[in-house]
Amino acid sequence: MKESLVVLSDVTRDYGTGGAVTHALRGVSLEVGRGEFLAVAGPSGSGKTTLLNLVSGLDRPTAGSVVVDGRAVDRLDAAGAALLRRDRIGFVFQAYNLFPILTAAENAEYVLMLQGVPARERRDRVLPVLARVGLQGLADRFPGELSGGQQQRVAIARAIASEPALVLADEPTANLDSATSESLLELMAELNAERNVTFVFSTHDPRVMARARRLVVLRDGRIDQDGPPPAASAGHAA
Ligand code: ADP
């Protein structure tokens, strides 16, 4: 077994109190090794976002423990969790979440800026990353001047520019057409292979699930399936 990057042990997350408790996660145990390319699927309300929020320390479990890169996330205070996110985790969101008044390069530099990397070095680091994600020549465009697929490529550049151990992506292709989704997944898979960046992404889309190397399916806050995705055997023969 590869070295574990994320370890959830018997994690429960309840929302609400008294008679109105929602059991978002009901005893989830999951180990994600370094370098994995993992999709989390399941119907709406099954707990996907809750799981990602617990891994990033945006939320805390009601019971159980969450360890990321050797740190007990559930025991970090807010400042500690913010530092963990800044330094260890890249994020990609379904709505891209770029700053509209910053260029593609400035958006991609954002995490490096938070880390205090000087401006010249930031630019030197993000330009090759932008080129790698297929945005050569578009560094000075604003998000409003880019297509949805290109904006999500900027978001991926931002997520990986600081070389985090883990990239979390919540429904990264939800707003993209199927051809654009495919090419985005292809890019993520290539970055995973080239740079050993661990990707954990949630999705509803069976075609996106099929691109994962491991698929965890949640149902009613529990892990219902965990293994290679059904359609992956043919696709990954090469
Ligand atoms: P998914 O991402 O799979 O759609 P979520 O993790 O968002 O599922 O939600 C799991 C369950 O927890 C749902 O029933 C949802 O309504 C509930 N839930 C999520 N976040 C909150 C919250 N902040 N307050 C109350 N209930 C919540």
Q: Is 13 in the pocket of ligand 1 (CB under 6 A)?
A: no
Q: Please report the pLDDT score of residue 178 as a whole number.
A: 87
Name the residue at shortest CA distance from atom 17 of ligand 1: 24
- 141 near 103, Cβ under 8 Å? yes
**Within its chain, how far is the Cα of 149 from the centroid?**
16
Q: Please report the pLDDT score of residue 19 as a whole number.
A: 79
Q: Is 49 in the pocket of ligand 1 (CB under 6 A)?
A: yes
Q: Is 45 in the pocket of ligand 1 (CB under 6 A)?
A: yes
The encoded tokens of residue 56 equal 């990033």
CA distance 98 to 164: 18
Spatial strand order in the sheet of 63-68: 22-33, 4-15, 63-68, 71-72
Cα(171) to ligand 1 centroid in Å equals: 15
DSSP assignment of 97-159 equals ---TTS-HHHHHTHHHHHTT--HHHHHHHHHHHHHHTT-TT-TT--GGGS-HHHHHHHHHHHH
- 173 near 185, Cβ under 8 Å? yes
Structure pTM?
0.92
Give the residue among 234, 225, 175 at the shortest CA–CA distance from 205.
175
- Is pLDDT above 80 for 39? yes
Digit-coded pLDDT (tens) for 176-232: 898 899 999 999 999 999 999 999 999 988 888 999 999 999 999 999 999 999 864
Q: Is 48 in the pocket of ligand 1 (CB under 6 A)?
A: yes
The average pLDDT across 4-11 equals: 97
- 15 near 221, Cβ under 8 Å? no
The encoded tokens of residue 99 equal 């700053």
CA distance 166 to 123: 22
What is the dihedral sign for C-alpha 45, 46, 51, 52? Answer: negative
Q: Please report the pLDDT score of residue 235 as a whole number.
A: 46
Cα(5) to ligand 1 centroid in Å equals: 25
Q: Is 50 in the pocket of ligand 1 (CB under 6 A)?
A: yes
CA distance 109 to 127: 9
What is the dihedral sign for C-alpha 94, 95, 99, 100? Answer: positive
Which of 11-20, 74-83, 189-198, 225-234 is predicted with the least confidence, judged by mean pLDDT? 225-234
- 215 near 39, Cβ under 8 Å? yes
Q: Is 203 in the pocket of ligand 1 (CB under 6 A)?
A: no
Name the residue at shortest CA distance from atom 14 of ligand 1: 45
